[in-house]
Amino acid sequence: MQIRDRYAPSPTGLQHIGGIRTALFNYLFAKSQGGTFILRLEDTDRTRFDPSFVQNLYDTFEWLGIKWDEGPDVGGAAGPYIQSERFELYKKYADELIEKDKAYYCFCSAERLDKIREEREAARSSETGYDRHCRSISPTEAAERVKAGEAYTIRLKIPLGESTKFHDHLLGDIEWKNDDVNPDPVLLKSDGFPTYHLANIVDDHLMGITHVLRAQEWLSSTPLHVIMYAAFGWEHPEYCHLPMVMGQDGKKLSKRHGATSIDEFRRQGYIPEALLNYVALLGASYEEGKDIYTLDELAARFSLDKLNKAPAIFDYKKLEWYNGQYIRMKSDEELAELCLPYAVEAGLFGAGPGSVVPGPIASSQGKVPSPEQRSTFTAAMPLIKERLVFLHEATEKLGYLFSEPAIPAAEEFIPKKADLQQAVSLLRMGRDLVKPLAEAADDASAESLIKDWAEKNKVKLGDLMMPLRAAITGARVSPPLFGSLRILGAEKSLARVEKALAALNTAR
């Protein structure tokens, strides 16, 4: 069997974690089997449809690096891949069910349906859905009323008094009483638009979909879909309803747990590889003792047999760990390119209009870096790479390299068990070290130099470095001092030390 599966989102909102997990699992399954992964846009909900959501879908998957084999933008033999371009097909197949006596015309008005619902609510009835009022109309009468121009919908005839059985790869054999299926649901609306169920079944069949991998929230729709396949005389695809993605409180993942849209994760400074790696593990296992996988490695190891029945818990802290790991795997040049849009947006290189740097930020009020600033930014990556969790953090951590920081309060210069006078004395010692430290070949050389100085002058190494760090970076806690001195250079560094000394002398 040639495996064909699909991701079929409705472009009525931004792409979010649950949808991406579904798309990713379909992609991995198709690739693991040498099959075909398809994108189909189910845009029949025109009240909530927005073209910006379609663009968001394309932008999201381009960022993630997931490509489909067939789809609206790449074509394919089973197209078109946008449901609004397939309406004639749905009318054709709805009419076919009428001819087979598997569906019927319904002439009930919206007012009548509302009245039924209100009466049931008033009577506290357990009945739900349509009352099958038009099911008993003879085909001849129904055809005449349609010919006369009476408004109608087309409804599916659910077989009464029976059960529907199907097998789910993850959940096993499932049997559902037809009495519990939505009573005779609408297939074709009065405006000629198909409902989700009709369009979904027709498209999956015509596109040769062999496997449907989707969230367990769609499980209740599956009996209806199996009934529809039987009504057409078609074989239904294999089903696998994926475990839900939950927050750590055990409830379905939502905005109350934190970011859920991929745009939010992107703006926060996550790396696509980290997000994919983590999401691929939500409800699936691959290999013992291994955490980091490339997309190709995930595809090679993915198996439906390794899916978990239990809901997957989305752990933001674990995702942060993955993001940090992937940040550290980047070269300095790669990391600088990833961090640059955030730095521009924050105005690290100056405020005012400037060219927008491609990236996760929609627009920017900051200036792009000059060649010298860009070189400095890249050179500074080793100083922060081990400390970054999010890409946007680079801006705050490196601000002192691009604009002179405010001189900290006097107490920030004072080591433990020391006083202001001692801090001034230590900073004067540090001033004498600035030039040789800035010109040292590497950290090891700089560390050896300052250690020897500290021993010779009988001061603690930490005490000697603290005032110097505060003067150079504007903070006690900062990226490594030696690298900062090399990047800033002796002249700028000495000027900062002199300013700090002048301020401390005034404070004494």
Q: Say how far apart CA 95 and CA 461 lie, in whole Å.
A: 86
Catalytic: 255?
Answer: yes
Q: Tokens 């596109």 identify what position?
A: 207
**Token duo for residue 266:** 């992107």
Query: Could you tell me the strand order of the sheet in which 103-106 lies?
Result: 103-106, 153-156, 186-188
Cβ density class 340-371: b for 16+ within 10 Å, e for less: bbbbbbbbbbeeeebebbebbbeebebbbbee
Do 501 and 439 contact (CB within 8 A), yes or no?
no
Q: Say how far apart CA 333 and CA 382 lie, in whole Å.
A: 10
**Residue 174 contacts by C-beta under 8 Å, 6 or more apart in sequence?**
165, 166, 167, 168, 219, 222
Q: What angle do CA 11, 15, 17 make, to 5 degrees?
A: 140
Of 305, 300, 466, 477, nearest to 383 (Cα)? 477
Q: How many residues does the structure list for the chain?
A: 508
The dihedral built from the CA positions of residue 170, 173, 177 and 181, taken in this order, carries a sign that is positive
Strand intervals (E) in 295-428: 312-313
Distances (CA, A) of 29 to 47, 290, 308: 33, 20, 15
Of 10, 99, 90, nearest to 48 (Cα)? 10
Please pick, among 251, 255, 306, 451, the residue that the annotation labels catalytic: 255
Q: Say how far apart CA 64 and CA 276 lie, in whole Å.
A: 7
Active-site positions read 255
